[in-house]
Amino acid sequence: MLVLRSLEEPRRFARACRARGERVGLVPTMGYLHEGHLSLIREAKRRARRVVVTLFVNPTQFGAGEDLDRYPRDLERDRALCEAEGADALFTPEARDMYPPSHATRVNVSGTLTSGLCGAKRPGHFAGVATVVTKLFNLCEPDVAVFGQKDAQQAAVIKRVTADLDLPVEIVVAPIVRERDGLAMSSRNVYLSPEERAQAPVLKRSLDAAAALYRGGERRSRVIVEAARSHIGSAPLAKVDYMEMVDAGSLAPVDVLEGPALLAVAVYFGKTRLIDNTLLPDDGVM
């Protein structure tokens, strides 16, 4: 597996692959990889002959007081995991190269895709996401890029950017990968204390309760969300940041479910913020 560090290397790699008629897949990550990330690499390998994994803790998507400095990092562990999964290249740029002092451009997506859910309390977050992913697409020139359903709002934003800017990249959203007790895999799970970790699977139980109501014929968002919130309330260490029902395409709030919808939740356990979601009907990914 190649380890690419300069901004010129991934483009050269992609063009050499394409000259041989090989499709290139991309899996953007911030590192500290877990089984969820590895499942994205496998999905990319199913769709492309060559796979590039990017490992970059993007400073522009962290706000003041967020966990940029303490975000977990372990480059050698991540390198070994990528190589074991058969990735062909690992791109690990430096922040000073991605964002030199002269860097003055941001990619902003307006409207309901970014104004609600995580965007409501993390101003600038999705501009940081959209900017870095656009840069990675330009640097790595993939044919296909794979993202996870756990970060559903991020995936929706990236789909919009790709469509609006006519970027020649196929966007694939892969299912959420969970621990045996239902907790969605996340690099931030390592922050949880033993007591918080024991209570964290309440997120999945709350989503399951909502899905059961939907399957039983309930279509009123208020009723479904209140039922899910009541399950969160059974975990004394959980503090709900938001729990909202939105249209699965536009992410606009919906009162009555008449088409595919996304129930999204963000919960604090101490200082650790976890997100999760489910589609209704729960029969796939975005």
**What burial class does residue 241 get, using C-beta atoms within 10 Å of its C-beta: 0-12 exposed, 13-18 middle, 19+ buried?**
middle
- Distance from C-alpha of 159 to C-alpha of 270, rounded to nearest angstrom: 32
Catalytic residue of the set 34, 37, 103, 231: 37
Q: Cα angle at 237 between 236 and 243, to 5 degrees?
A: 90
Q: Cα angle at 260 between 188 and 250, to 5 degrees?
A: 70
Here the tokens at position 151 are: 């970060």
Here the tokens at position 246 are: 């939105």
Residue type, 165: L
β-strands 261-269, 272-280 pairing: antiparallel
Three-state SS for 15?
helix
The alpha carbon torsion through 215, 217, 244, 56 (nearest 10 deg) reads: 20
Three-state SS for 139?
helix
**37 is known as an active-site residue:** yes
What b/e readout covers 22-61, taking b as 16+ CB neighbours within 10 angstroms?
Answer: ebbbbbbbbbbbbebbbbbbebbbeebebbbbbbbbbebb
- Distance from C-alpha of 176 to C-alpha of 215, rounded to nearest angstrom: 20
* Residues annotated as catalytic (active site), given as ranges: 37
